[in-house]
Amino acid sequence: MKKLKKLFIFLLIVFVGIQFIPTKRNQSTEVLETDFSKTFAVPTNIQNMFEKSCYDCHSNNTNYPWYNKIQPISWLLENHIKEGKKEFNFSEFGAYSKRKQKNKLKSLASQIRDNEMPMQSYTLIHRDAKLSDNDKEQIIVWINKLRDSL
Amino acid sequence: MKKSIYVLALITILFSACKNDKKQAESNSMQSSEMNMKEADGHDHDDHDHDATMGENSSKEERNIDATTQKNSATSAIIDSYLQIKNALVEDSKEGAAKGGAMMLTAFTDFDMSQLNDSQHKEYMEILEDAKEQAEHIVKSPIDHQREHFENLSIDVNDLIALLGTDKTLYQSKCPMAGEGKGAIWLSEYKEIKNPFFGSKMISCGSVQKQIN
């Protein structure tokens, strides 16, 4: 029993300790000139879907949930966002080469079609980020048209 | 007493790990802003490249004729790794393709850029950036994803050959069913059709479009 108490105190100290570790917040009020919405003429409803379902991890501006302030959740989110932006960043899309833009658009459509994005672990919490079949269809049709025009 | 030392040690480790991460993130973002600058520089070129890859046939044709007159062995290692990926996909081998992806990353690292002139350099950097990304995904993805990335990679390698040339004899073939029905090209060292996009499911789908060298 005594051991259990010690363990609990130990874990508590670690938990409190890690709260002091700073995290880099992915937030910016500025919409860059290279943002997807400024690079192409994106219909409002499509842009809204992107912002709701993708921008948290794939842009320079994350709309953080309240629990983000708690470690180790902050770490987890920070990593997701880092990975996400490396793969595809809506805020910098205009700076990509044409070659890269075309390939990224292709991947975007196929990831959405195959239900790989947005990630299940994300939509589980962000219910409104889930794309309906109709949403998916709209995005894919529009993306394919855009790809052909590039 | 002993325990509190452990706790302190743990916290210190966590702190320092975090610092490293930050540094890395900074250098990453520096790299990417450099990249962006390069891309901004190469803007004119961008458009040119875009015409060449997208314009269905005319401009593409021209570039490939260039390639046939240019016997360059510098691209051989990159092409060999591409063919390794291609042959693995023909045999439905995810592992083989992943190995080829790793080979390609090495080949690009070893490539001597000093022999490129200014205009070649810009387009080379774009091809390099894209091809490396495709190769990285081929290393770590399941086979259907490998095949999707191989489609993009084929265009990159084709453009690389158009830009710099090769001393190999290659065949450019097209499968009309790949690329979600839009059709996709691949390069092969032999004339016979062995389809890397579908493997054993549709091994003979496609036709040779042109011979390089």
* List of residues 6+ apart from A66 with CB closer than 8 A: none
User: Residue A8 — pLDDT band, cuts 50, 70, 90?
Assistant: very high
User: What residue of A is the nearest CA neighbor of B2?
Assistant: A10
Question: Between residues 133 and 162 of chain B, which touch chain A (CB distance below 8 Å)?
Answer: 133-134, 148, 152, 155-156
pLDDT by residue (tens digit) across B119-172? 888 889 999 999 999 999 999 999 989 999 999 999 999 999 988 888 888 999
Cα–Cα distance for residue pair A74/A56, rounded to 1 Å: 14
Cα A30 versus chain centre, distance = 17
A95 interfaces chain B, CB cutoff of 8 Å: yes
pLDDT by residue (tens digit) across A35-57? 888 888 889 999 999 999 999 89
pLDDT by residue (tens digit) across B96-105? 999 999 999 9
A106 interfaces chain B, CB cutoff of 8 Å: yes
B1 interfaces chain A, CB cutoff of 8 Å: no
A124 interfaces chain B, CB cutoff of 8 Å: no
| B4 or B186, which is more confident | B186
Q: What percent of chain A has pLDDT over 70?
A: 99
What's the pLDDT score for residue B4?
A: 53
Pick the residue of A91, A99, A114 with the most B CBs within 10 A to test the interface with B by mutation. A99
Give the pLDDT mean for A17-26.
82
Tokens of A133: 């079949």
Q: What b/e sequence results for B105-124 when a residue is b if at least 16 CB atoms lie within 10 Å of its CB, and e otherwise?
A: bebbeebeeeebeeeeebbb
Tokens of B118: 């200014």
Q: Which parts of chain B are beta strand (E)?
A: 170-175, 184-188, 207-212
pLDDT by residue (tens digit) across A125-144? 888 899 999 999 999 999 98
pLDDT by residue (tens digit) across B40-82? 444 444 444 444 434 343 333 334 434 444 677 788 889 999 9
What's the pLDDT score for residue B57?
A: 39
With a cut of 50, say whether residue B28 has pLDDT above it.
Answer: no
| B15 or A120, which is more confident | A120
With a cut of 50, say whether residue B180 has pLDDT above it.
Answer: yes
What's the pLDDT score for residue B5?
A: 52
Looking at the complex, report in whole angstroms how far the Cα of residue A12 sits from the nearest Cα belonging to chain B: 10
With a cut of 90, say whether residue B196 has pLDDT above it.
Answer: yes
User: Residue B9 — pLDDT band, cuts 50, 70, 90?
Assistant: low
Give the pLDDT mean for B102-117.
88
Please check whether residue B147 is in contact with residue B53, taking contact to mean a CB–CB distance below 8 angstroms: no
**Rg, chain A, Cα only:** 19
Q: Is the full-model pTM beyond 0.80?
A: no
ipTM: 0.75
- The closest CB to that of B50, out of A34, A98, A103, belongs to A98
What's the pLDDT score for residue B6?
A: 55
C-beta atoms of A98 and B49 within 8 A: yes
Burial of B45 (0-12, 13-18, 19+ CB in 10 A): buried
What's the pLDDT score for residue B96?
A: 92
| A20 or B27, which is more confident | A20
A110 interfaces chain B, CB cutoff of 8 Å: yes
Question: Between residues 45 and 74 of chain A, which touch chain B (CB distance below 8 Å)?
Answer: none
Closest CA to A105 of A47, A43, A147: A147
User: Residue B114 — pLDDT band, cuts 50, 70, 90?
Assistant: confident
Burial of B49 (0-12, 13-18, 19+ CB in 10 A): buried
User: Residue B27 — pLDDT band, cuts 50, 70, 90?
Assistant: very low
Q: What b/e sequence results for B61-84 when a residue is b if at least 16 CB atoms lie within 10 Å of its CB, and e otherwise?
A: eebbeebbebeeeebebbbebbbb
- The closest CB to that of A97, out of B39, B54, B180, belongs to B39
With a cut of 60, say whether residue B7 has pLDDT above it.
Answer: no
User: Residue B111 — pLDDT band, cuts 50, 70, 90?
Assistant: confident
